[in-house]
Amino acid sequence: MKYIDEFRDPALARTLLARIAARATQPVRLMEFCGGHTHAILRYGLRSLLPETVDLRSGPGCPVCVTANADLDRAIALAQVPGLILTTFGDMIRVPGSRQSLQEAKAGGADVRIVYSTLDALRIARDNPARPVVFLGVGFETTAPTVAAAILQAEREGLGNFSVLSLHKLTPPATRAILDAGEVALHGIIGPGHVTTIVGSDAWEFLPGEYGVPVAIAGFEPVDILRAIADLVDMVETGRPAVANSYSRSVTGQGNRTALEVMDRVFEVGAADWRGLGLVPASGLAIRDEFAAMDAARLFAVEPGPTREHPGCLCGGVLRGTVAPPECPLFGRACTPARPVGPCMVSGEGACAAYYQYRQDAP
């Protein structure tokens, strides 16, 4: 398959692994921001192929995982508004909230529908003009522009029954929050490839500039990730932190201006509540007043009840990079993908799900 096979080439991967092994003379701790990277690293078994000096920590780059329980409870309460159709991307429905998951609410009679695109949500709104249709907007800068475009489309069409619960979050402020907290010493960051396609690699200049931490933007194939790790090890060894674009077939310095403009037209930046990080200033996207008629947060007054967290769940630490998934006492015992306790065990981008699904414990 073109554009994929060359980035899974075993010979190229071995060359990069040899380069990393030769250069990584001292221990380096790198954080892969993206859950997509965590999954690729585990799926291809890269951890076991890297030298012991290279320590990889997963980060907060899983939109489903960083959604705070209070916000999830709000979405579940929304789904129970009589007549309302809640549309969502698939991963969200299995995440346990304080009392139940969207999946359980669905089995109990709530009309929750999985969609693959906001266009599907718009179609459902068109097909059900008498019912409110809410799209659960969970995602980073990659998803937010498509949701913004859907809101603009709904406005053009005069779709009065469509609205969005915006829980969108921004990735650079989260990275800053982790570095500011200083809980885990990081020598470099594997930057999110899809997010950076939108925001542009310039958006990460603050990492080397203000924190002295190099960042390498990576794609999601094994060769992409190994190339980013090799770039980071080089920068750590030479003491010259910078933003390396190891995903140049997709990422530019400026990013996708059109997407950013659409996002900015519909959303405004505000504080957001992150699981694991708490309230992070200027890290979320709320719907602007101009589009209040499509803001589900303003349209529906729901009372989700008090927020409860599972006392043993270490998802917060996993998302900050302070806890490796297998270090959680619940991992693989009380918490498995079939019966997840926390969101990191559910999502296709969740670190615990990756460590469990692709575990290497077999001899």
Which residue ranges make up the site for other proteins (CB under 8 A)? 1, 4, 8, 10, 13-14, 42-46, 48-49, 94, 103-104, 107-108, 115-117, 120, 123, 222, 336-338, 348, 356-363
Residue 355: count of CB within 10 angstroms of its CB: 26
Which three-class secondary structure state does DSSP give residue 360? coil
Residue 111 pairs in a beta bridge with 85
- Minimum CB separation of residue 327 from other proteins in Å reads 18
CB of 11 to other proteins, least distance (A): 10
* Contact predicate 139/63, CB 8 Å: yes
| Residues 186, 315: Cα–Cα separation, whole Å | 19
* Beta carbons of 54 and 342 less than 8 angstroms apart: no
Are the C-beta atoms of 110 and 131 separated by less than 8 Å? no
Q: How far is 141 from 81, CA to CA, in rounded Å?
A: 29
Identify which of residues 14 and 308 has a Cβ nearer to other proteins in the complex.
14
Q: Least distance in Å: CB of 286 to other proteins?
A: 28
Using the minimum distance from each CB to other proteins, give the nearer residue, 221 or 231: 221
Structure tokens at 19: 């380069």
When the beta carbons of 44 and 267 are compared against other proteins, the nearer one is: 44
Nearest approach, Cβ of residue 16 and other proteins (Å):
10
Min dist CB 127 to other proteins, Å, is 11
Q: What single letter denotes the amino acid at residue 97?
A: G
Q: Which is nearer to other proteins, 119 or 292 (CB)?
A: 119
- Closest-CA residue to 262 (of 155, 124, 125): 155
Cβ proximity to other proteins: between 298 and 310 the closer is: 310
